[in-house]
Structure formats: structure tokens, C-alpha cells
Structure 1
């Protein structure tokens, strides 16, 4: 059963996990052992309180990202790499690809239908293809909730209550704008997809070493922030926002 504080995206991935629990039962048992032995008092990157598999939502998506099944993970990453090379490197247009694929499918089905009618004196059964409504509605609802949550976070940052969060948001958006100006959206999406298939599995393997190094780095960053706060931020005049009530 999912936790009450679980996000909609985690609920969707949990549903896929329940549909095929036999394929990932071994990984679930491993995760339960890791959860029971997880040390909450030890420093963990980003303050996480769960194993990496649970942080990624659990189920099939987490199994793919953490390479529980190397064939499936390699196939997904290989497919994404092929799409990136096809559209970004070779500059093959999406509409052109769709049209060519439909031409090929229609030609094959047309020839197959006529050949079967000529040989077997009966028309072949072409299966109907349709998109189920429930998964689409669930994904759309989850995306809507996540987008609204992002808007809420941006509103909280813009309210001026947390200066540290504001500076981190500005720095992150500035870095993202620089990266976005150097490559296309598809390349940026592929880089994020590639990192999602490599960084978590490497981190899970060497998490103790990474967490130890991250703890030292966070201590140093906090020291530098205290110095920056005393010399710069504390000298900036700030006051609480006052709202005038309308009659």
C-alpha cells in the first residue's frame, strides 16, 4: 500500500509495479532489507530517508534506472540514443518519420490484405489499435498536480521568505539557461535521460563514499555561506512585506 505522502507519479509507478510483481519480487525483498537497515542518523545526500530504489518511485521504472534487468535497461537507453541520433545528429524531422512509417505500414497491410484475399479467398483480420483512457487520464492528472506544485514552489520562492532558496533557484535557472543555449531541447532531454540511467546506479553502488564526500562538501559550503551572509547578505536592508487592505 502506498504512503499517504506519496506523490501521484509514485502512485502510477507503484501501479505498474503491482501489475508485474513477479518480475521484481527479488529487488523488492532487497529493498526491504535495505530499508530496515537504513541508518537515518547518518548523513545522506539531499537528506533522503529511503533507499535509492524507493526514492525513484519503486517498481519497473526504478528497476530500469538501476539496471535490475540489464537487457531492458540497455534496450531503453539504446532506443533513446537511437532517437537522439536520428532526430538531432542526422536532423531527421519527426513529421517526416511519422509519414514514412505510416506509408510503410499502410503499404504492408494493403499488400497483405490483397494477397490473403487472393490466396485464401477471405480478408485478413487487421487488429484494432486504441489508447486506453485510464492510464492517459492518470498521467495527465499527475502532470497537472506536479506542475501546480512547481508553481506553488516558485510562488513561495518569490515571496521573499527564504533568501537561501531564492539564491539557489536563481543560480539553478541561470546554469540551466546557459546549458539550454548551448544545445537543443532534445539534446538536453537526452542528457537528462542518460544521467538518470547512469548516476543513480553508480550512486547506489558507491553511496557510502559519495555521502561521506557530500557531507564534507556541505559543511564547507555552510561555512562559506555563513561568511557570505555576514559580509554581504546581512548588510542588505530587508523588511517584512506589508499589504494594504482595500476598503
Structure 2
């Protein structure tokens, strides 16, 4: 009798375990399906905004490089753009002094060179004799020489600019752009009129002053000059 009573209890416990397993699987399936439904319902992330293309900025004379590169870069461009104010002011001061001497005071180049050499030799001669008389020994006169590297750099830049100008004139003379050809002829005609009114030294000095003023002012106010020039 005891064995018959234990068998129904074992059967009932097995049925209960089986029912719990089925219920558990059903609950897991419903949760996973609900999770998948939630994932589907979630809104997808919006695509990243496309970068707006910046409008092309108009630059004077159609340039695409900075002013420093247009002027050739290096030390000459630094002087024209006043990167070192002492050097730029010194160069402009020397040019102004030479223009005053040769143009206003009507000094001649050969006369100036001879006078400078006479003055320099006289100073060195008197200093040498005074030092020998006081210290009983000859003075040490420093050697003066022109450094080779800056001269070669200046010659290289100058030759490069001249060759570039010749190549530009050759391209204009090829007859491909009539508008540019007429513009260059007009510029040369204006220069010829200006040259008849003043000599070469004054014209060179005016160009030198313009190179020391116009580029640096344009670089400083290019954001205002370019939109104004675009209207024309």
C-alpha cells in the first residue's frame, strides 16, 4: 500500500516540475520577443548632418595663396609685410635718405661713394695713429666682407621673379586672352606716361614705398577689401 501511495506523489511532482519548465520557457520567449519588439520600436539614430560646403571666397586678382606666398615668401616678403618692424623701417628709412640725397639735394652716386670712402679712410687712419701713439701698438682693424649666402638668395629670388614675369608676358603674347593683353598694354602705357613725368630714381622709390605699404595694408584689411572689389 505504501508503494502505491508514493507513485502518485512522484507523478505529481514530475508533472509540477515539467509545468514549471514549460512556464519558464514561455516566459523567456515572451521576454525576448518583447525585447526585440522594444528594439524595433526604438527610433534609429538620425544620420550625421552633412557638412555644408563653404562658399568660395572671392580674392583680389583671383589669388588662392596668402599674400606672403604671393610676394615670394622668405625674407623679402617678411620685409614688405613688416614681420620685423626694425628691418622694414630701416630699409624704408635708407631708401628715403637715398632718394632725398639724389633727388632733392641732387647728389650723384659716384660723388657719394667717393665721399663715403674718403670719410671712412680718414676715420680709420686717425684712429690707427691715435691708438698706436697711446697704447704703443697698432690697432686691430676688423675685416669687412659681404656675406655670400644673402647675396645668392637675393639673386636667386630676383632671377626667379624676372623669369616668372617673362613667362607671363610670353603667355599674354600668345594671343589666348585679349582682355589680359589689352590690360597689360594699358598698364605699360600708364607707366610710360609716369616715367616721362619723373626720373627712374623717383619711380623706383615710389614703387619701393608702395611695396612697403600696400601689401601690409591689404593683408590687414583683406576681408573688407575683397568683398568690396567683388562688386566691381
Normalised TM-score (structure 2) = 0.69
Q: 1:104 is matched with which residue?
A: 119
- The secondary structure found in structure 2 opposite 1:129 is coil
Which of 113, 116, 125 is 2:131 aligned to? 116
Q: Which residue of 1 aligns with 2:70?
A: 55
Cα displacement string for residues 109-128 of structure 1 (whole angstroms, at most 9, x for unaligned residues):
11111111111111111112
- Cα gap change, 1:70 to 1:151, in 2 (>3 Å): closer
Q: What 5-or-longer segments of structure 1 have no aligned partner?
A: 1-38, 218-247
1:171-226 CA-partner distances (Å, limit 9, x unpaired): 11111111111111111111111111111222222212211111111xxxxxxxxx
Looking at structure 1, the residues matched to 174 and 85 of structure 2 have their Cα atoms a distance apart, in angstroms, of 46
State the Cα distance separating 1:152 from its structure 2 match. 2.8
- For residues 40 and 99 of structure 1, do their structure 2 counterparts lie closer, same or farther at Cα, with a shift above 3 Å needed? farther
> Cα–Cα, structure 1 residues 105 and 192, in superposed 2: closer, same or farther, change >3 Å?
same
Kept in 2, the 8 Å contact 1:203–1:210? The answer is: yes
User: How many residues were matched structurally?
Assistant: 179
Secondary structure of 2:231's partner?
helix
Residue equivalent to 2:182: 167
1: CA distance, partners of 2:66 / 2:214 = 14
Residue equivalent to 2:200? 185
CA–CA distance in structure 2, aligned partners of residues 53 and 148 of structure 1: 19
SS in 1 for 2:58: coil
2:168 pairs with 1:149: no
CA distance in 2, matches of 1:48, 1:173: 22
1:42 Cα deviation from its structure 2 partner: 0.5
Deviation (angstroms), 1:77? 1.9
**Equivalent residues in 2 for 1:73-112, closer than 5 Å:** 73-112=88-127
TM-score (ref. length: structure 1)? 0.65
The 5-angstrom pairing of residues 127-146 of structure 1 reads 127-146=142-161
Q: Which has the higher contact order (CA 8 A, sep 6+)?
A: 2
RMSD (Å), alpha carbons? 2.2
Residue 145 of structure 1 deviates from its aligned partner by: 3.7
